[in-house]
Protein backbone atom coordinates (compact mmCIF):
# COMPACT_ATOMS: atom_id res chain seq x y z
CA UNK A 1 0.00 0.00 0.00
CA UNK A 2 1.30 3.43 -0.82
CA UNK A 3 0.68 5.70 2.12
CA UNK A 4 -0.11 9.39 1.99
CA UNK A 5 2.67 11.99 2.07
CA UNK A 6 5.36 9.65 0.83
CA UNK A 7 5.49 7.45 3.89
CA UNK A 8 6.98 4.00 3.30
CA UNK A 9 4.86 1.54 1.39
CA UNK A 10 3.49 -1.40 3.31
CA UNK A 11 3.29 -5.06 2.38
CA UNK A 12 0.39 -4.60 0.00
CA UNK A 13 -2.11 -5.66 2.64
CA UNK A 14 -4.26 -2.83 3.89
CA UNK A 15 -4.37 -2.63 7.65
CA UNK A 16 -6.49 -0.20 9.58
CA UNK A 17 -5.06 1.10 12.80
CA UNK A 18 -8.05 3.29 13.55
CA UNK A 19 -10.70 0.59 13.17
CA UNK A 20 -13.51 0.64 10.69
CA UNK A 21 -14.43 3.89 8.98
CA UNK A 22 -17.46 4.89 6.99
CA UNK A 23 -17.47 6.19 3.45
CA UNK A 24 -17.96 9.93 3.91
CA UNK A 25 -19.48 10.50 0.46
CA UNK A 26 -22.04 7.84 -0.47
CA UNK A 27 -21.92 6.25 -3.91
CA UNK A 28 -23.96 8.18 -6.44
CA UNK A 29 -24.99 6.74 -9.80
CA UNK A 30 -24.95 10.29 -11.21
CA UNK A 31 -21.41 11.10 -10.10
CA UNK A 32 -19.42 7.91 -9.65
CA UNK A 33 -17.93 5.57 -12.23
CA UNK A 34 -19.77 2.35 -11.53
CA UNK A 35 -19.37 -1.11 -13.03
CA UNK A 36 -22.11 -3.63 -12.35
CA UNK A 37 -25.78 -3.41 -11.44
CA UNK A 38 -26.85 -0.39 -9.40
CA UNK A 39 -28.99 -2.66 -7.21
CA UNK A 40 -26.22 -5.20 -6.51
CA UNK A 41 -26.10 -6.74 -3.04
CA UNK A 42 -22.57 -5.43 -2.50
CA UNK A 43 -20.85 -2.22 -3.53
CA UNK A 44 -17.05 -2.19 -3.49
CA UNK A 45 -15.44 1.25 -3.63
CA UNK A 46 -11.73 1.57 -4.34
CA UNK A 47 -9.64 4.68 -3.81
CA UNK A 48 -6.71 4.10 -6.15
CA UNK A 49 -3.70 5.69 -7.81
CA UNK A 50 -2.85 4.69 -11.39
CA UNK A 51 0.90 4.82 -10.68
CA UNK A 52 0.80 3.03 -7.32
CA UNK A 53 2.27 -0.48 -7.59
CA UNK A 54 -0.14 -1.75 -4.94
CA UNK A 55 -3.15 -0.33 -6.79
CA UNK A 56 -1.68 -2.06 -9.84
CA UNK A 57 -1.45 -5.34 -7.93
CA UNK A 58 -5.07 -4.96 -6.78
CA UNK A 59 -6.35 -4.34 -10.33
CA UNK A 60 -6.37 -7.99 -11.55
CA UNK A 61 -7.71 -9.14 -8.18
CA UNK A 62 -10.69 -6.80 -8.49
CA UNK A 63 -11.24 -8.05 -12.05
CA UNK A 64 -11.24 -11.67 -10.80
CA UNK A 65 -13.68 -10.79 -8.04
CA UNK A 66 -15.98 -9.02 -10.50
CA UNK A 67 -15.97 -12.12 -12.71
CA UNK A 68 -16.64 -14.40 -9.71
CA UNK A 69 -19.44 -12.34 -8.12
CA UNK A 70 -21.13 -11.15 -11.31
CA UNK A 71 -24.42 -9.35 -10.72
CA UNK A 72 -23.98 -9.49 -6.94
CA UNK A 73 -21.25 -6.82 -7.12
CA UNK A 74 -21.14 -3.17 -8.08
CA UNK A 75 -17.63 -1.68 -8.31
CA UNK A 76 -16.77 2.01 -8.00
CA UNK A 77 -13.34 3.52 -8.64
CA UNK A 78 -12.42 6.89 -7.11
CA UNK A 79 -9.21 8.76 -7.86
CA UNK A 80 -6.65 9.15 -5.10
CA UNK A 81 -3.43 10.19 -6.86
CA UNK A 82 -0.53 10.63 -4.44
CA UNK A 83 1.46 13.10 -6.51
CA UNK A 84 4.23 13.49 -3.92
CA UNK A 85 5.25 9.89 -4.62
CA UNK A 86 3.90 9.26 -8.13
CA UNK A 87 4.63 12.08 -10.59
CA UNK A 88 2.31 10.76 -13.33
CA UNK A 89 -0.63 9.84 -11.10
CA UNK A 90 -2.53 13.14 -11.30
CA UNK A 91 -2.28 13.42 -15.08
CA UNK A 92 -3.24 9.75 -15.49
CA UNK A 93 -6.34 10.35 -13.36
CA UNK A 94 -7.18 13.39 -15.48
CA UNK A 95 -6.77 11.23 -18.61
CA UNK A 96 -9.22 8.67 -17.20
CA UNK A 97 -11.73 11.42 -16.46
CA UNK A 98 -11.23 12.99 -19.90
CA UNK A 99 -11.93 9.58 -21.44
CA UNK A 100 -14.93 9.28 -19.14
CA UNK A 101 -16.30 12.54 -20.50
CA UNK A 102 -16.41 10.73 -23.86
CA UNK A 103 -17.98 7.57 -22.44
CA UNK A 104 -14.75 5.55 -22.18
CA UNK A 105 -13.74 5.81 -18.51
CA UNK A 106 -13.44 2.08 -17.89
CA UNK A 107 -11.55 1.44 -21.11
CA UNK A 108 -8.96 4.09 -20.14
CA UNK A 109 -8.93 2.89 -16.51
CA UNK A 110 -8.05 -0.62 -17.68
CA UNK A 111 -5.41 0.62 -20.13
CA UNK A 112 -3.71 2.76 -17.45
CA UNK A 113 -3.46 -0.12 -14.98
CA UNK A 114 -2.26 -2.48 -17.71
CA UNK A 115 0.44 0.04 -18.70
CA UNK A 116 1.61 1.43 -15.34
CA UNK A 117 5.19 1.96 -16.48
CA UNK A 118 4.00 4.04 -19.45
CA UNK A 119 1.97 6.95 -18.08
CA UNK A 120 3.78 9.90 -19.70
CA UNK A 121 1.76 12.29 -21.85
CA UNK A 122 2.88 10.70 -25.13
CA UNK A 123 1.49 7.35 -23.94
CA UNK A 124 -1.77 8.93 -22.75
CA UNK A 125 -2.23 10.39 -26.24
CA UNK A 126 -1.68 7.02 -27.88
CA UNK A 127 -4.19 5.37 -25.53
CA UNK A 128 -6.76 8.04 -26.42
CA UNK A 129 -6.21 7.35 -30.11
CA UNK A 130 -6.50 3.60 -29.66
CA UNK A 131 -9.76 4.04 -27.76
CA UNK A 132 -11.19 6.12 -30.60
CA UNK A 133 -11.55 9.28 -28.54
CA UNK A 134 -11.77 12.78 -29.97
CA UNK A 135 -8.06 13.33 -29.42
CA UNK A 136 -8.19 17.12 -29.85
CA UNK A 137 -10.83 17.37 -27.13
CA UNK A 138 -8.85 14.94 -24.95
CA UNK A 139 -5.65 17.03 -25.29
CA UNK A 140 -7.52 20.28 -24.64
CA UNK A 141 -9.09 18.90 -21.45
CA UNK A 142 -5.73 17.58 -20.24
CA UNK A 143 -3.88 20.84 -20.97
CA UNK A 144 -6.61 22.92 -19.29
CA UNK A 145 -6.93 20.49 -16.34
CA UNK A 146 -10.66 20.38 -16.98
CA UNK A 147 -11.17 17.39 -14.66
CA UNK A 148 -8.80 18.39 -11.85
CA UNK A 149 -11.73 19.56 -9.72
CA UNK A 150 -13.41 16.18 -9.98
CA UNK A 151 -10.22 14.44 -8.88
CA UNK A 152 -9.87 16.86 -5.98
CA UNK A 153 -13.42 15.95 -4.90
CA UNK A 154 -12.42 12.27 -4.85
CA UNK A 155 -9.28 13.08 -2.85
CA UNK A 156 -11.21 15.12 -0.29
CA UNK A 157 -13.89 12.42 0.04
CA UNK A 158 -11.12 9.86 0.61
CA UNK A 159 -9.45 12.02 3.23
CA UNK A 160 -12.80 12.52 4.98
CA UNK A 161 -13.29 8.74 4.90
CA UNK A 162 -9.93 8.13 6.59
CA UNK A 163 -8.18 6.67 3.55
CA UNK A 164 -4.60 5.95 4.71
CA UNK A 165 -3.16 5.26 1.24
CA UNK A 166 -3.76 3.34 -1.94
CA UNK A 167 -5.48 1.12 -2.61
CA UNK A 168 -8.18 1.52 0.02
CA UNK A 169 -11.44 -0.40 -0.21
CA UNK A 170 -14.90 0.15 1.24
CA UNK A 171 -17.52 -2.60 1.28
CA UNK A 172 -21.08 -1.32 1.49
CA UNK A 173 -19.76 1.95 2.90
CA UNK A 174 -17.43 0.50 5.56
CA UNK A 175 -13.65 0.45 5.13
CA UNK A 176 -12.19 -3.00 4.57
CA UNK A 177 -9.43 -3.41 7.13
CA UNK A 178 -8.00 -6.69 5.85
CA UNK A 179 -5.64 -7.39 2.98
CA UNK A 180 -6.73 -7.14 -0.62
CA UNK A 181 -5.55 -10.67 -1.40
CA UNK A 182 -8.15 -12.42 -3.56
CA UNK A 183 -9.35 -14.88 -0.92
CA UNK A 184 -9.55 -12.29 1.89
CA UNK A 185 -11.33 -9.61 -0.14
CA UNK A 186 -13.70 -12.13 -1.76
CA UNK A 187 -14.62 -13.59 1.64
CA UNK A 188 -15.38 -10.12 3.01
CA UNK A 189 -17.54 -9.31 -0.01
CA UNK A 190 -19.38 -12.63 0.19
CA UNK A 191 -20.08 -12.04 3.91
CA UNK A 192 -21.49 -8.63 3.04
CA UNK A 193 -23.65 -10.15 0.29
CA UNK A 194 -24.97 -12.78 2.73
CA UNK A 195 -25.78 -10.06 5.27
CA UNK A 196 -27.78 -8.22 2.62
CA UNK A 197 -29.60 -11.43 1.60
Reported as a single tens digit per residue, the pLDDT across 100-126 is 999 999 999 999 999 999 999 999 999
DSSP category for residue 8: P
Show the domain range for 49: 10-196
DSSP characters over 131-194:
TT--HHHHHHHHHTTTTHHHHHHHHHHHHHTT--EESEEEETTEE--S---HHHHHHHHHHHHH
- Tell me if 5 is assigned to some domain: no
- The model's confidence at residue 97, banded by pLDDT at 50, 70 and 90, is very high
The pLDDT tens digits for 63-79 are 999 999 999 999 999 99
- Tell me if 1 is assigned to some domain: no
The tally of domains found in the chain comes to 1
Alpha-carbon span 179 to 94, nearest angstrom: 28
3-state helix, strand, coil in the chain (%, to 5): 45, 15, 40
Q: What are residue 75's phi and psi, to 5 degrees? A: -115, 130
Alpha-carbon span 33 to 114, nearest angstrom: 18
- Tell me if 4 is assigned to some domain: no
pLDDT of residue 20: 54
Closest by CA to 62, choosing from 166, 148, 161, is 166
Alpha-carbon span 179 to 25, nearest angstrom: 23
The pLDDT tens digits for 133-186 are 999 999 999 999 999 999 999 999 999 999 999 999 999 999 999 899 999 999
Write the CATH number for 106: 3.40.30.10
- Tell me if 3 is assigned to some domain: no
- Tell me if 63 is assigned to some domain: yes
Amino acid sequence: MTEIQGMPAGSGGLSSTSGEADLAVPVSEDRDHLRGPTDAAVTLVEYGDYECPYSGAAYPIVKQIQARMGAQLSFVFRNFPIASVHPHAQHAAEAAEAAGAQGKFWEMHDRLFQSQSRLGDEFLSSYAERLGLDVDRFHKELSEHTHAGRIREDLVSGERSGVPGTPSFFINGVRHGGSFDFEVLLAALERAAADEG
